[in-house]
A and B are shown apart, each in its own frame.
Chain A
Amino acid sequence: MSEGRVVGIDLGTTNSLVAYMEGAAPVVIPGVDGSNLVPSVVALDPLPEGGGRPTVTVGNSARRALIETPERVIYSVKRLMGRGLSEVQSELKLFPFRLADDVEAGEVPRIQLGELKFTPPEISAYVLRQLKRNAERFFGAPVTQAVITVPAYFNDAQRQATKDAGRMAGLEVLRLVNEPTAAALAYGLDRANVGTIAVYDLGGGTFDISILKLRDGIFEVQSTNGDTHLGGDDIDNLLLTIALDEIYSEHGVDLRAHPSAVQAVRKAAIDAKIKLSTEQAAQFDIELPNGDRYQREIPRAVFEQLIEPVLERTAGPCKQAMTDAGLTPDQIDAVVMVGGSTRIPAVRQLVDDLFQLAPRGKKPHIELHPDEVVALGAAVQADILAGASTATEEMLLLDVTPLSLGIEALGGTVARIIQRNSTIPASATEHFTTGVDGQTNVAIHVVQGERELAADCRSLARFDLKGIPPMSAGLPRIEVRFLIDADGILQVSAREQRSGKAAQIEVKPTYGLSDEQVESMILESFDHAEEDFAKRLLIEARNEAETILSAVERAPESPAWQQLTGEEQAAVSAARDRLAAVKLGEDAAAIRDATLALDQATRRFAELMMEAAVTTAIRGKTMDAAGEEMGDEVTAPHPMAPAEFK
């Protein structure tokens, strides 16, 4: 069973994908709706009549639920992974969701979703389970092992949280791979195999830069840098602010008081941003509550001036990465572009300038789909790990740790024990002793970061070395070994050398779940995955059918239903009846086909509902849909952001 396929997963802030190697080429596995991208959106279905735990919907259908039951939907959860309470609190200002009331400092924050509470890894686990199911449907066989990508600049806690999510979803995470490195693998497959490349990865919420040396199939990362809070969202916010300010000053309408209206203007801002990548100008045309229209043209030149400070923030990390690698721009042979934001011409220009590409007759590489390249690379790494594949047998990825590891020393300073950009796995051994006669415990505080003071770095964990034999102060000699594994996660072991006794270590991660907690959060029993596989596929197919049927059941109540032509209504009804009939049978494939057909028949209806919600939101009418609870800040990333260019 463990010798099944290994899939590669890009668990993204906005969208997630699953891919695998088909022979010598990586391929994205589409979902049941035929789409390659699964929006990283999770919705809690309505409470079942007669009690019981509500089921969960993921992806496009969850996005739809955002209109009907926003208080039961969560998105962009990647921003909350591996973060502490105070960090989540400040991050949540940007989101329409809220923390559970009973969250205490020191535990992993839980988000209130309807009547239930979930930790960020649990939410991610639902997304992963969906991808797992998509792959299983595609192969017609169980999938239990995966490679998952993370931003290169993710710290230990964020990585651990991602691994936990995999385990909860019933996936053995064979490796966490850094996103820019994965992209390099995807590009490196069919390209000249010697040279130095830079990967510039500007996504929705994070920025990474990695510099790699390629030689005979070995991908050796030289340095990496980045910013986990820099991305397309920041650009959206700039456009949004302009629109809101102008609406206020020119029309006297303060939309900021109406969170759902803000979300709607935000969607317009995102549309404008996307248009400006291909057109010389984009227009805002928004109907306001007082009947006025806000009309505004944004020429590309104005847009570029506006976003320059945001783009400029990516320059520093790029320069630092080159310095750390001991390289100058002219020594970089190629630059690979990853992430949706690299479609912006000004971003490409900045990269061109930073790496002096044009004067050297070069261009940034954009051949692979920027939304898919990370998943494709994950599939390549999955193939390497599975072994015995001729396509990847010569390939090996040597990655680095993005942040220095240190121990808090006397006076709160940091003693660095593993430098950033060290090839992983990497280890360091340190010796500790006692300060008081008879002392049997020594506390160690491990931090991650580049700052001089421990308080300015990120607290990783506190270790208690226990069971030290009582001796005079300074006599015990405790050897502690710190090891950063190939996933970039820290492992610690200790030994008292004079007594030869292995000191007992109690690891208290500053952020994160205990093993037992993860165990208790495992989504369902996967023990008998194989024998039950066919049965499970059937149950899943029926559940999916159930979800869409109950949504369609409520459709005629919606005003959008009346906007459909009689023909369209008839098509929906026919598809609904067919699914309702097929659902009773035992043929999972037939149920899936009928589900897909109904999904397609209702597509225009879904669009109309989305539009209606947006219009209602701007007109300021009370709307059950986008709801009062949408964020009170203008910076919430919009879950309806289109994922692809038309």
Chain B
Amino acid sequence: MLKVLDSAVPVACWSCSVAHNESILFCPHCSKIQPPPGGDYFSVFGLAPRLDLDLGMLEHEFHRLSRKLHPDRFARALPNEKDWSLADTALLNDAYRTLRDPIRRTGYLLKLQGAEMGEEHSGKDRKDPSRVPADLLEEVFELNMQLEEMRMARKMGQTDPDLQADLTAAKKKFDGLLDAVDQDLRGQWKVWDEGDEAARQSAQKTMVALLDRRRYLSNLVRDVTETLGA
């Protein structure tokens, strides 16, 4: 996903040949579009990696850069410029999509720092008992039983108001736990953004664990919502 930023190597603009040693989208001298820079998503917006972002500013920058980079602006340009516009805009869109979402942003920054993260797109880890957060073992066990019962009842065309109420209550509880995780994450953001190296290291560790827990909880909530709504 990530390329190493090598900003020490000067790059010459393809158009005006003036060298620039930053990873940039446009030549500072002639304003021509440049091939996609190697920097991270934060650098696309001219930011250093940080977790607490001003989303209004981010959107404003996204729109400003889109106006300049989008392939619609290069429909009749040189083939090279067309290609770079496409690649640069994909980078801009990928970066914006990642950074504007607090959870994706946190995960991205942690990966950038070399943290080992859980699998993003498999919903299967909830089936693996070893991944259940220890403090939730008992409740998750019971919830899974109830979910199974609910599905069976549905299959038979029955409704069980008690079970429905139990599940609704459980969903509320797990929603609450999710909120708590999000609160904790925000707390860690501050630590990471403002702390020294040691504080950052410890915040990273905490956040990796929080994201794991969050992923687990949100899969659980999704399951309950799906079963209730089926």
Inter-subunit contact B72/A218 (CB<8 Å) = no
**When A398-B66, A426-B93, A485-B86 are in contact, do A415 and B75 touch as well, CB less than 8 Å?**
no
Of all chain A residues, which has the CB nearest B68? A396
Contact of A427 among B67, B76, B90 (CB under 8 A): B90
Indicate whether B121 reaches chain A with its CB closer than 8 angstroms.
Answer: yes
Residues of B within 8 A of A250 (CB): none
The A200-249 residues at the B interface (CB cut-off 8 A) are 215-216, 218, 220
Task: Say whether A486 faces chain B, with CB atoms less than 8 Å apart.
Answer: yes
Query: Do A215 and B63 form a contact, CB below 8 Å, given A385-B75, A415-B121?
Result: yes
Q: Is the CB of A422 within 8 A of B75?
A: no
- When C-beta atoms are compared, the residue in chain B nearest to A215 turns out to be B63
B75 touches A175 (CB 8 A): yes
* Of B72, B87, B121, B122, the contact of A385 (CB 8 Å cutoff): B72
Task: Give the residues in chain A near B204, CB-CB below 8 Å.
Answer: none
Closest CB in chain A relative to B157 CB, distance in Å:
21
Inter-chain contact B90/A429, CB cutoff 8 Å: no
Q: Is the interface of B mostly helix, strand, loop or mixed?
A: helix
Complex alpha-carbon distance, A423 and B121, angstroms: 19
B91 at the interface (CB under 8 A from A): yes
- Considering only residues 43-86 of chain B, those with a C-beta below 8 Å from chain A are 63, 66-67, 70-73, 75-76, 86
Contacts of A174 in B (CB 8 A): 75
Q: Residue among A216, A386, A387 with the most chain B CB within 10 A?
A: A387
Q: How far is the CB of A379 from chain B (nearest CB, A)?
A: 14
> Looking at the complex, which one of B63, B73, B89 makes contact with A425 (CB distance below 8 Å)?
B89
A425-B90, A429-B1 known; A386+B76 contact, CB < 8 A: yes
A631 → chain B closest CB, angstroms: 37
Picked from A3, A396, A416, A424, the residue with its CB within 8 Å of the CB of B93 is: A424
CA distance in complex: A218, B93 (Å) = 14
Contact with B along A423-441 (1 / 0, CB 8 A): 1111111000000000000
Q: With A415-B121, A427-B90, A486-B72 known to touch, is A396 a contact of B67 (CB < 8 Å)?
A: yes
Check B96 for interface membership: any CB of A closer than 8 A.
Answer: yes
Indicate if A550 sits at the interface (CB-CB under 8 A).
Answer: no
Judge whether A517 is part of the interface by a CB distance below 8 angstroms: no
Asked if B67 and A423 sit within 8 Å, CB to CB, the answer is no
Give min CB distance, B97 to chain A, whole Å: 6
- A387-417, CB < 8 A from B: 387, 396-398, 413, 415-417
A76 and B86 CA atoms in complex are apart in Å by 33
Specify which of B67, B73, B87 is in contact with A387 (CB 8 Å cutoff): B73
> Is residue A2 contacting chain B, with contact meaning CB distance below 8 A?
yes
* Residue B94 at the chain A interface, CB threshold 8 Å: yes
CA of A387 to CA of B70, assembled, Å: 12
The answer for the CA separation of A416 and B120 in the assembled complex, in Å, is 9
Interface of B toward A, CB cutoff 8 Å? 1, 63, 66-67, 70-73, 75-76, 86-87, 89-91, 93-94, 96-97, 121-122
Those 5 A-B pairs whose CB atoms lie nearest each other, nearest first: A385-B75, A425-B90, A427-B90, A486-B71, A423-B93
Q: List 22 A-B contacts (CB under 8 A).
A: A174-B75, A175-B75, A215-B63, A218-B66, A218-B67, A220-B63, A385-B75, A385-B76, A386-B76, A387-B75, A396-B73, A413-B122, A424-B93, A425-B71, A425-B87, A426-B90, A426-B93, A427-B87, A427-B94, A428-B94, A483-B90, A486-B89
**A218-B66, A387-B73, A422-B93 given; 4 more Cβ-contact pairs under 8 Å:** A3-B76, A397-B72, A424-B93, A483-B87
